[in-house]
Amino acid sequence: MVEPRAKSTSRAGWVALAVACALVLTETSARGQTLLPEPSPATPAGSSEASTGAPPAPSVAALQPPARALDHADDTRWHPKRELHFGTADFVVTGIATGVVFGAAVTSPHSRHWRGGIGFDEDVRDALRAGSLRGRYWLRDLSDVGVSLASTWPFLVDALVTAWWHRGRADLAREMALVSAEAFALAAAIQGVANVAASRERPFGRLCGTEIPNESVDCDPGVRYRSFFSGHATLAFTSAGLLCANHLGLGLLGSPGDILTCTGGFTVAAMTGLFRVMSDMHYASDAGIGALVGTTVGLAVPLLHFRRSSTEPSAGTIEWRLAPVGRGIGIAGTF
């Protein structure tokens, strides 16, 4: 399980602290308040202080936060809770993973096949499998719709519509699309290698030559022996993980929109996996492993790319400066 990131330090705000070293002790401001100088007492006319001159009033600029914290003061763009960063190494990883996906797709499954279910697979198949061949084809089509919706949502809706159009952040939309592509490539590569290596017969394979003609595409070895583990479930749950990580980590819509999107993503993924079992394309264990792998990759990849927002001070840094306050010296800083 990935540990949640610490709460954004931008909410910690500014803490201004002034200490009078001589006669004046200025008030320590509360969290998020501005440090104000203590007014100096009036100096009687003709006094020695008048002849020497009163201490100069503190400059407003002297008590301002460091310039780094004001870099984005005039930036009216929406800023996410965190930023995403896709580097050169990620392009390499994505390219290699994509190559593995295409390689697995054109490679025939291992000649030694794995047949039958394990554990509860057969009981679940008997309970959930649609009774007619037409019904199973219909459910297969529904699973195709589910995985198509899930795999395009992070790009077309989250990146293009939400981040770019709604939030006006083309740079964030680009990073989201690249990170999503990397996650899908990695998940599909893992699934493709497992498909070829395991060479597990799909549940309907036992019907080839009887209910299903041997000449059909379904009974071709390149299709028949790719049951472990479910690619539809893997991609659908990868998408669900991406939706949750991006919405909850970046705050794309705010509450409750982000929570509803996360919940909806996992609902579509679960239904997609269920339809694959009901259509006799996969055993329950195939769908379950696909869900586990997809969720793990979908959550982990964006979490590894999150960076602190550019508007936040770096964690663990302390900045301070001295400034004249009345007849004393003040200290202003960020903690």
Mapping DSSP to helix (H, G, I), strand (E, B) and coil, where does residue 90 land?
A: helix
Structure confidence at residue 310 (pLDDT): 57
**pLDDT for 124-153, tens place per residue?**
999 999 989 999 999 999 999 999 999 999
Structure confidence at residue 307 (pLDDT): 86
d(C-alpha 209, C-alpha 89), whole Å: 49
Q: Burial-class residue 6 by CB neighbours within 10 Å (0-12, 13-18, 19+).
A: exposed
Sheet with 319-325, side-by-side order of all strands? 15-17, 328-334, 319-325
Structure confidence at residue 226 (pLDDT): 96
Q: Is the pLDDT of residue 13 over 50?
A: no
**pLDDT for 92-130, tens place per residue?**
999 999 999 999 999 999 999 999 999 999 999 999 999
pLDDT mean over 319-328: 55
Percent of the chain with pLDDT over 70: 70
Structure confidence at residue 59 (pLDDT): 54
**Per-residue confidence band for 308, with pLDDT thresholds at 50, 70 and 90:** confident
Structure confidence at residue 68 (pLDDT): 45
The answer to whether the predicted template modeling score (pTM) of the entire model surpasses 0.75 is no
Helix (H) or strand (E) holding 196: helix 170-198
Lowest model confidence (mean pLDDT) among 12-16, 38-42, 144-148, 181-185: 12-16
Structure confidence at residue 202 (pLDDT): 97
Lowest model confidence (mean pLDDT) among 29-33, 266-270, 295-299: 29-33
Residue keyed to tokens 């929109």: 257
Q: Is the pLDDT of residue 35 over 50?
A: no
**Per-residue confidence band for 28, with pLDDT thresholds at 50, 70 and 90:** very low
Q: Cβ distance 194 to 294 under 8 Å?
A: no
Listed by start position, the domains of the chain span 9-75+313-334, 82-308
Structure confidence at residue 57 (pLDDT): 54
How high is the mean pLDDT of the chain?
80
Structure confidence at residue 79 (pLDDT): 85
Nearest 10 degrees: CA dihedral of 127, 131, 135, 139? Answer: 10
**Per-residue confidence band for 80, with pLDDT thresholds at 50, 70 and 90:** confident
pLDDT mean over 311-323: 49
Q: Is the pLDDT of residue 54 over 90?
A: no
Q: Is the pLDDT of residue 207 over 90?
A: yes
pLDDT mean over 205-210: 92
Would you state the CATH architecture of domain 82-308? Answer: Up-down Bundle (1.20)
Lowest model confidence (mean pLDDT) among 3-7, 123-127, 197-201: 3-7
Percent of the chain with pLDDT over 90: 64
